[in-house]
C-alpha cells in the first residue's frame, strides 16, 4: 500500500528510499508527541509534510501533573519505599498551596499542568525559550534564568522534548542548586536531565523524592539500577496518555488536518 498511498498515519516507518517506496506520499502524521525516533530527518523529502500529535496529551498530562505534585507534597515516594522495607513511619505532607513549583517546558504537557495546579494555590514559575506568558503560571522566565529559579523550587516539573537545546539542560550542576526537600517529576524525555545524578541524590537525601515517567531506552531493563532507588516512583511512560481518549482524540486531530490537507 506504500506504493500508492498519499497519506500515512503511523508512529514509525521504514524511511530508506522513501521517495521510491512511496512515490505519491505527501503527508505523514505521527501519532506520538515526540518524534525523536525519526531523527535525523534527512530522509524526509522536502515535499512531504510531517505532523505530530501535539495537543492530544494535554488533558491527561494536566491530571497526571496534579497527581504527581500531590504525591510529592504528600511524600508518597518515601512512604512507598518504607512499605517495601516493612518500615512504619509517619511522614506528614504539606498542601500544594504556598509551595513553589518550577515547570521547565510550558508546551502541551507543562502548560496543562500549570493550569490544573493553579486553583490549588502554588506559586508557579514557568521556564520557556522566549519567556512568553503561560496560563496558570505566576511568572515565566527564559531558560538563561534557570539557575536563579531552581533554588526556589519545592517541586521541579520537567516537560521537555528532545532537542539539542534541552539535552542535559538539568545537569548535575543544576540539580545541585535544588533544595534537599525538593521533589522532581519528569514527564518529557530523559535526555533533559541526568538520571544517575538524580538517583544518587535520592540515595543520599539531597532530594526528597522523584516521579520519573520517561526513559531511554524504554522499557527499562529488569536489571536496571533504577528499580531499587529509594524515594523514586517509576511510571512506565503512561502519564500523558489516556487509555480511553488517546485514539479518538488522535483521530479528531487527524480528521481536522485531513480537511486542511
Ligand atoms: C510521547 C507520547 O511522545 O506519549 O511521549 O506520545
State the DSSP string of 223-237.
T-GGGG-TTEEE--S
Q: What are phi and psi of 82, to 5 degrees?
A: -60, -40
Buried b (16+ CB within 10 A) or exposed e, 233-243: bebeeebbbbe
Q: What is the pLDDT of residue 254?
A: 98
Residue 109 confidence (pLDDT): 97
Q: Which residue among the candidates 85, 89, 218, 244 is catalytic per the annotation?
A: 218
pLDDT score at 255: 98
What's the pTM value of the predicted model, to 2 decimals?
0.95
Sorted by sequence, the CB contacts under 8 Å of residue 51 that are 6+ apart come out as: 27, 28, 29, 30, 257
* C-alpha span between 96 and 59 (Å, rounded): 20
Instruction: Among 54, 241, 242, name the best residue to mutate to test ligand 1's pocket (greatest count of ligand atoms within 8 A of Cβ).
Output: 241
The answer to whether 237 is a known catalytic residue is yes
For residue 94, the CA-to-ligand 1 centroid distance in Å is: 31
**What are the tens digits of pLDDT across the range 140-193?**
999 999 999 999 999 999 999 999 999 999 999 999 999 999 999 999 999 999
Determine the Cα–Cα distance for residues 250 and 235; give it in Å rounded to an integer. Answer: 23
Low-confidence ranges of the chain (pLDDT < 70): none
pLDDT at position 101, please?
A: 98
pLDDT of 221: 98
- Per-position b or e across 31-50, b if 16+ CB within 10 A of its CB: bbbbbeebeeeeeeeeeeee
Amino acid at each position: 500500500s506504500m506504493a500508492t498511498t498519499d497519506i500515512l498515519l503511523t508512529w514509525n516507518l521504514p524511511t530508506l528510499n522513501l521517495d521510491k517506496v512511496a512515490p505519491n506520499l505527501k503527508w505523514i502524521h505521527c501519532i506520538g508527541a515526540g518524534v525523536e525516533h525519526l531523527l535525523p530527518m534527512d530522509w524526509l523529502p522536502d515535499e512531504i509534510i510531517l505532523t505530530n500529535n501535539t495537543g492530544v496529551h494535554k488533558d491527561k498530562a494536566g491530571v497526571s501533573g496534579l497527581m504527581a505534585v500531590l504525591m510529592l507534597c504528600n511524600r508518597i515516594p518515601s512512604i512507598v519505599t518504607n512499605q517495601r522495607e516493612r518500615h512504619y513511619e509517619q511522614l506528614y505532607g504539606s498542601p500544594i498551596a504556598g509551595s513553589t513549583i518550577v515547570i521547565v517546558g510550558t508546551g502541551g504537557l507543562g502548560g496543562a499542568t500549570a493550569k490544573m495546579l493553579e486553583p490549588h494555590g502554588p506559586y508557579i514559575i514557568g521556564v520557556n525559550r522566549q519567556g512568553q506568558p503561560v496560563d496558570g503560571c505566576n511568572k515565566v522566565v527564559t531558560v538563561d534564568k534557570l539557575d536563579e529559579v531552581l533554588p526556589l523550587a519545592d517541586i521541579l516539573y520537567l516537560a521537555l522534548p528532545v532537542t539539542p537545546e534541552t539535552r542535559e539542560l538539568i545537569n548535575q550542576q543544576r540539580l545541585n542548586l535544588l533544595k534537599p526537600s525538593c521533589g522532581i517529576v519528569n514527564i518529557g524525555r530523559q535526555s533533559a536531565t541526568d538520571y544517575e545524578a538524580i538517583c544518587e541524590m535520592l540515595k543520599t537525601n539531597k532530594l526528597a523524592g522523584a516521579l520519573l515517567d520517561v526513559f531511554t531506552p524504554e522499557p527499562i531493563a529488569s536489571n536496571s539500577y533504577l528499580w531499587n532507588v529509594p524515594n523514586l516512583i517509576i511510571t512506565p511512560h503512561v502519564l500523558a496518555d489516556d487509555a480511553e481518549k488517546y485514539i479518538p482524540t488522535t483521530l479528531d486531530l487527524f480528521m481536522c488536518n485531513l480537511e486542511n490537507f
